[in-house]
């Protein structure tokens, strides 16, 4: 079975439904794509929850070392990690009961994405959440 992303209408609905985004691999370095995407999403009103070890805070939000350390479940997990790290992130999402995961541009792990889907998780892979937010939701995200 091959992985297929949700339709653009489904992605638009997803972006309009979620409010809190755990950004796994969110860098405090302003020149990194994860920082720019998270800052843009934060500016659209989403609550950003940085998930990155050895960092105390990013974008004015307390950072956590891993998903298991979060005080509450996010509406979605946005992944800025290399593809080889996706299986362990999917494992955490399944274990914690997180229902949505977004793998950013270039973060492709079809096997892990299919496993997440089979566990009932909505998966978007190899797309930019910020770009989709801007193009699909305009100012209404």
Which pLDDT tens digit goes with each residue over 11-37?
999 999 999 999 999 999 999 999 999
Beta strands in the chain (DSSP E): 20-24, 47-51, 57-58, 61-62, 76-79, 100-103, 122-125
pTM, two decimal places: 0.95
**pLDDT class for 138, splitting at 50, 70, 90?**
confident
Domains along the chain with CATH numbers: 8-137 (3.40.50.720)
Any idea what DSSP says for residue 133? I
Helix axes 110-118, 86-96, angle to 10 degrees: 10
Cα 95–chain centre separation: 16
Supply the pLDDT for residue 141. 46
Which pLDDT tens digit goes with each residue over 39-83?
999 999 999 999 999 999 999 999 999 999 999 999 999 999 999
């Amino acid at each position: 079975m091959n992985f297929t992303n949700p339709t653009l209408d489904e992605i638009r609905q997803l972006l309009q439904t979620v409010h809190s985004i755990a950004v796994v691999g969110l860098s405090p370095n302003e020149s990194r794509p994860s920082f720019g995407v998270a800052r843009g999403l934060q500016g659209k009103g989403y609550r950003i929850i940085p998930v990155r070890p050895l960092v105390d805070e990013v974008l004015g939000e307390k950072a956590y070392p891993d998903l298991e350390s979060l005080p509450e479940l996010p509406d979605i997990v946005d992944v800025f990690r290399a593809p080889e790290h996706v299986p362990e992130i999917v494992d955490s999402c399944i274990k914690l009961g997180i229902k949505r995961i977004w793998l950013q541009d270039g973060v492709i792990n079809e096997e892990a994405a299919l496993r997440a889907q089979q566990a009932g998780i909505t998966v978007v892979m190899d797309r930019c959440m910020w770009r989709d937010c801007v193009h699909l939701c305009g100012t209404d995200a």
